[in-house]
Amino acid sequence: MKNMSKLVDNCWKGLTLQHVSEKKIIVPYTIFTVLALVFELFLLGLVIYSIVLFQLFNYQADFLFYVAIAILLLLFCLTVPILLAVMKSLADKKVDKIEASQ
Read off φ and ψ for residue 35, nearest 5 degrees.
-65, -35
List C-alpha distances in Å: 35 to 57, 63, 66. Answer: 33, 28, 24
Residue pair 29/86 in contact (Cβ under 8 Å)? The answer is yes
| Predicted local confidence at residue 36, as pLDDT | 96
What span, in angstroms and rounded, lies between the C-alpha atoms of 76 and 94? Answer: 27
Please say if the pLDDT value at position 102 is more than 80.
no
* pTM score, whole prediction: 0.82
- 63-101 helix and 23-56 helix, angle to the nearest 10 degrees: 150
**pLDDT tens by residue, 29-78:** 999 999 999 999 999 999 999 999 999 999 999 999 999 999 999 999 99
| Predicted local confidence at residue 12, as pLDDT | 87
| Predicted local confidence at residue 62, as pLDDT | 94
Mean pLDDT of the chain: 90
